[in-house]
């Protein structure tokens, strides 16, 4: 499409077009200026080798790139463990010198039209600031917590060896990259909110190639009967004067396929010598290990907040792709000013518990009214319609409709996104 077309959202956009091959270094300069940090040379090389330039778009001022947005093709697991084509949105940045000019809106407009054209029905991102993306139809969808454990007193109620018969071994970074990929690919389809990864997306677990922290980072796997069932990435860092040598174990990523592998990995982490504290950030809200600690309060939640945000690019297809916890007949009016093709009334008819919905456009009077951002938040089951209705984000037009929606959109476990991107 022409860069200066009037878009389907109905608003005029500033010129936006794909990044040129000669503009790649400028792309990284803008990312560094916007986020206040530069990547290591090894990570830069990795990203350059995986860049799909047609998915990286730029806003320009007199020919110079001053804003960027990129996306990566992926697949997301949704309730019922169906999987749908998804765009992972990254590197959304505008130079500090060109803010408040409508450039972010233009980038989002172009990108969502492009994602729709590629047949990706969902988009997902991590928001650097919570107030940015709601106006573009994104909603908070998965959440995580930071936990701190005093390792000097934390103990399991039962030794992991009683029910975990596999073994744990440490790996080099190269071996870990191969093992982590095999485990994660088996794990991703098992929980709503998880996405498929490219090589770049393992950097949060493995560390940046050539990064300064690699001399402190360690990798371990749990293996049983020749099958890899869990991995962990962690580092050990000082937390006080060298003379006292107190050190903290920082958990970067833990992924397990079985309950016994999960417990075995936590048992291993709690037993790492010469560390007095364990800090795990971005972990699930329902972290199960607290139920196996002899003193559950030792797993202290020190922070809780959003992780990934999602955007329903095609509302009808998304509603029809997931499964619903209970049967029901619900008419939802969706207001989507940024992606006008989604605006309308949708009837969801679910005939059996845990079943799919027959979704159709309808002229029937709606039971509920909500906007695209709110729909995105309830879509994976991580946010209750009841709470959103209490603060006016959902309008109930039929008595009992909010409670019905809450039961239909519920999920067995909170959705989660292990991947930081």
- pLDDT per residue over 119-160, tens digit each? 999 999 999 999 999 999 999 999 999 999 999 999 999 888
- Residue-level pLDDT at 164: 85
| 209 and 290 assigned to the same domain | yes
What's the CATH code of the domain at 24?
Answer: 3.40.630.30
Domain count, the chain: 3
Rounded Cα distance between 346 and 364, Å, is: 9
In a domain, 244, yes or no: yes
Residue 97 has pLDDT above 90, yes or no: no
Phi, psi (rounded to 5 degrees) for 202: -90, -5
In a domain, 9, yes or no: no
| 273 and 148 assigned to the same domain | yes
pTM of the predicted protein model: 0.93
Considering 290, 306, 322, which residue would you say is the last residue of a domain? Answer: 306
What is the tens place of the pLDDT at every residue in 222-231?
Answer: 999 999 999 9
Is 30 buried (19+), middle (13-18) or exposed (0-12) by CB count in 10 A?
A: buried
| 233 and 194 assigned to the same domain | yes
In a domain, 129, yes or no: no
| 83 and 208 assigned to the same domain | no
In a domain, 420, yes or no: no
Considering 254, 277, 306, which residue would you say is the last residue of a domain? Answer: 306
| 208 and 149 assigned to the same domain | yes
| 371 and 268 assigned to the same domain | no
| 381 and 277 assigned to the same domain | no
Phi, psi (rounded to 5 degrees) for 361: -70, 150
In a domain, 127, yes or no: no
| 106 and 174 assigned to the same domain | no
Mean pLDDT, all residues of the chain: 93
Rounded Cα distance between 116 and 7, Å, is: 13
> What is residue 291's three-state secondary structure?
helix
Of the chain, the percentage scoring pLDDT greater than 90 comes to: 83
Structure tokens at 10: 């109905």
| 228 and 156 assigned to the same domain | yes
Q: Quick one: which of 402, 398, 392 has its CA closest to 371?
A: 392
| 322 and 382 assigned to the same domain | yes
- Residue-level pLDDT at 2: 30
| 295 and 331 assigned to the same domain | no
| 160 and 286 assigned to the same domain | yes
Residue 279 has pLDDT above 60, yes or no: yes
- Residue-level pLDDT at 203: 92
Residue 11 has pLDDT above 50, yes or no: no
Q: Quick one: which of 268, 1, 207 has its CA closest to 113?
A: 1
Calculate Rg over the CA atoms of the chain: 23
12 DSSP 8-state letter: B
In a domain, 10, yes or no: no
What is the tens place of the pLDDT at every residue in 336-351?
Answer: 999 999 999 999 999 9
Rounded Cα distance between 197 and 74, Å, is: 7
Q: Quick one: which of 271, 312, 293, 289 has its CA closest to 145?
A: 289
Cβ neighbours of residue 124 closer than 8 Å, sequence gap 6 or more: 74, 76, 86, 87, 88, 89, 141, 195, 308, 309, 310, 311, 417
Residue 215 has pLDDT above 70, yes or no: yes
Considering 306, 322, 347, which residue would you say is the last residue of a domain? Answer: 306
- What's the mean pLDDT in 8-26? 78
- What's the mean pLDDT in 378-392? 98
In a domain, 255, yes or no: yes
Q: Model confidence at 190, in pLDDT bands (50, 70, 90)?
A: very high
Phi, psi (rounded to 5 degrees) for 328: 175, 165
Pairing assessment for the beta strands 328-335 and 344-350 based on DSSP bridges: antiparallel
What's the CATH code of the domain at 369?
Answer: 3.30.1050.10
Find the domain containing 255 and state its range: 144-306
In a domain, 231, yes or no: yes
Contact yes or no for 102/11 (Cβ under 8 A)? no
Residue 6 has pLDDT above 60, yes or no: no
């Amino acid at each position: 499409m022409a860069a200066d077309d009037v878009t389907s959202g109905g608003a005029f956009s500033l010129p936006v077009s794909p990044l040129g091959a000669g503009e790649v270094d400028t792309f990284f300069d803008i990312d560094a200026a916007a986020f206040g940090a530069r990547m290591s040379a090894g990570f830069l090389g990795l990203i350059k080798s995986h860049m799909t330039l047609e998915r990286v778009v730029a806003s320009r001022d007199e020919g110079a790139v001053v804003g960027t947005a990129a996306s990566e093709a992926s697949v997301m697991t949704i309730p019922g463990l169906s999987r749908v084509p998804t765009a992972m949105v990254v590197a959304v940045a505008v130079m500090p010198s060109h803010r408040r000019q409508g450039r972010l809106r233009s980038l989002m407009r172009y990108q969502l039209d492009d994602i729709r054209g590629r047949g990706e029905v969902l988009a997902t991102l991590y928001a650097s600031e919570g107030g940015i993306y709601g106006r573009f139809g994104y909603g908070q969808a998965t959440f995580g917590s930071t936990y701190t454990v005093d390792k000097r007193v934390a103990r399991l109620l039962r030794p992991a060896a009683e029910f975990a018969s596999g073994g744990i071994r440490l790996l080099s970074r190269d071996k870990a990259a191969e093992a982590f990929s095999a485990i994660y690919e088996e794990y991703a389809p098992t929980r709503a909110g998880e996405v498929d990864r490219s090589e770049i997306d393992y950097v949060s677990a493995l560390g940046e190639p050539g990064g300064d922290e690699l001399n402190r980072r360690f990798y371990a796997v749990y293996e049983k009967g020749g099958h890899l069932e869990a991995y962990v990435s962690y580092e050990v860092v000082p937390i006080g004067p060298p003379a006292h040598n107190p050190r903290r174990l920082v958990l970067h990523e833990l992924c397990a396929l079985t309950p016994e592998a999960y417990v075995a990995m936590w048992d291993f982490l709690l037993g790492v010598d010469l560390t007095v504290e364990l800090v795990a950030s971005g972990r699930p809200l329902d972290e199960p290990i607290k139920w196996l600690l002899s003193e559950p309060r030792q797993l202290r939640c020190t922070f809780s907040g959003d992780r990934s945000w999602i955007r329903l690019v095609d509302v009808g297809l998304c509603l029809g792709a997931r499964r619903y916890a209970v049967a029901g007949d619900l008419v939802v009016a969706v207001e989507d000013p940024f992606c006008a093709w989604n605006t309308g009334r949708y009837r969801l008819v679910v005939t059996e518990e845990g079943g799919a919905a027959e979704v159709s456009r309808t002229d029937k009077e709606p039971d509920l009214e909500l906007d695209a951002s709110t729909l995105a938040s309830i879509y994976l089951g991580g946010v209750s319609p009841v709470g959103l209705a209490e603060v006016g984000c959902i309008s109930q037009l039929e008595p009992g409709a909010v409670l019905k929606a809450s039961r239909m959109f519920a999920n067995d476990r909170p959705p989660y996104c292990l991947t930081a991107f």
